[in-house]
Amino acid sequence: MKLFYTHLALTIFCLTNSGCLKKAKDTKQDLPNILLIVSDDQGYNDLGICGREDIKTPNLDQLARDGARFTNFYVTCSGCTPSRGSLLTGRYPQRNGTYELFRNNRIEDGHVYTPYEYSTSPERILGMDTREVLLPELLKKAGYYNGIFGKWDLGQLKRFLPLQRGFDEYYGFSNTGIDYYTHERYFVPSMFRNNEPTIEDKGTYSTSLFEREALRFITENRDHPFLLYLPFNAPHGSSSLDPEIRGTIQAPPEYLALYPEGTTVQEKRRRGYMAAVTCMDNAIGNVLRLIDDYGLTDNTIVIFFSDNGGGMGSDNSPLSGGKGNMREGGLRVPCIVKWPGKVEKGRVIENFISSMEIFPTILDVTEIEKPDSLIIDGFSILPLLTGEKDMAREEMYWEFREEYAAKVGNLKWIKSDRRIQHNGFFDLSRDVAEQNDMSEQNPFEYQMVQEKFHDWQREMAEAEPRGPFKNF
């Protein structure tokens, strides 16, 4: 009985004394910091280290030299919202319920929403199902302090915002795209500070704002483990109804000055695109240098990739296609991972890997147990990163806007109800540009891949239902 009261007194003391809480947090000092960087619509070939000589990305190039670069890294969707949802859940969009964009469709006719119209529009009221378990929620329970600065894209209502999904700090915009300077999406103010809308920084280039917040976050939280999620909107096209801005990629004058002006519309878009990428690259470099200045580099894992294939102004070569379609250029993206002492410097990994592997890999790195009830579609690639084991994904499936694709090993099948010319069956080991349809020459493999795709469709249909799009 005496022992019971001793334990009770100790428990009460710890609950009411910050010293005990601080001591518990101190035991987490060996946990690695996580810097997760996502670019928006960056082309597969748009890194200097890939051999592209006209674009300046010195910091990302150095990141690749200091870590590992993936050449066969895939995302779950060729559009931003489902792709980013899969990153944070480790699940296919068809399983987590976010398989379409949360956006309004009256863009082409230039409609300007009234405040009330917007408040009840799909873009405003839709969001990722609150039953989904997001990566920051699990990290927070393990002692991490989590910040997101940039593009959220998983819902705007309070219950969908980052602070309700495991993050401790948020500064950024919550929909699919904005004007880089006004921070408006088609004249609708879109920036948030934590749970509240804000126009405090209107007029300042968005990449600079996200960099500023990331640097502050690192400075204030350098003494305990953190997740810094830095999802840029660069180099996404400018979401503006202004005819002089729409159809461009905005960038600061000093970065535009690094590139020739061009004469054609395509050349001017390419210039804005490259300037936006270089500005983002500089922001990434400043974040990495601050981590180094604080002596955190060796205990920080850095992951960088693009949310989907390159859009306007990008270079996806040698791949065909791009953002919004099922060609390789829409689904295969640049990816870099750096972890000093764990990941070999300068390594090029050609294994078939996807963004769904990031969630379970981080859980593996941090030794966090996955909830038993949680079904994830990725797997930990920690043994691959450390060189302990050669491993790769065997298959992957996609479905987006009446387009379908499957990849089994090097075999890829595409069926599009919108782009008939994209239909086909390809051997990517010999035809990465998807030019030669093999469906007639290889009927057995062609049928096998389609059958696997239909099996996957049935599995997704039978999964526990998630909103907002699924009918249940």
- Residue labelled with tokens 């009927």: 443
Q: What is the pLDDT of residues 15-69, one digit of tens each?
A: 444 343 333 334 456 899 999 999 999 999 999 999 888 999 999 999 999 999 9
Quickly state the pLDDT bin for 11 (edges 50, 70, 90). Answer: very low
Model confidence pLDDT, tens digit, residues 64-98: 999 999 999 999 999 999 999 999 999 999 999 99
Contact 380, 357 (CB under 8 A): yes
Q: What does the alpha-carbon distance between residue 54 and residue 471 come to, in Å, rounded to a whole number?
A: 47
For the chain, domain boundaries: 30-394
Q: What residue has token string 């997001």?
A: 134
Q: CB-based contacts of 227: which residues, under 8 Å, 6+ apart?
A: 33, 34, 36, 135, 136, 139, 144, 145, 146, 147
Q: Which two tokens stand for residue 297?
A: 């580099």
pLDDT (0 to 100) of residue 437 = 97
How much is the pLDDT for 18?
39
Confidence of residue 290 (pLDDT cuts 50, 70, 90): very high
Tokens of 426: 């390809």
Instruction: Determine how β-strand 411-416 pairs with β-strand 403-408.
Output: antiparallel
Residue 144 has pLDDT above 90, yes or no: yes
**331-380 residue pLDDT tens:** 999 999 999 999 999 999 999 999 999 999 999 999 999 999 999 999 99
- pLDDT tens digits for range 239-251: 988 888 988 999 9
The encoded tokens of residue 406 equal: 């499957």
- Facing residues of 403 across strands? 416
Chain CA centroid to CA 183, Å: 20
Which sign, positive or negative, has the C-alpha torsion 150, 151, 152, 156? positive
Q: Taking the alpha carbons of 452, 458, 464, 470 in that order, is the dihedral positive or negative?
A: positive
Q: What is the CATH number of domain 30-394?
A: 3.40.720.10
Structure tokens at 156: 């705007």
pLDDT per residue as tens digits for the range 157-198: 999 999 999 999 999 999 999 999 999 998 999 999 999 999
Q: Which residue has the tokens 């689904």?
A: 331
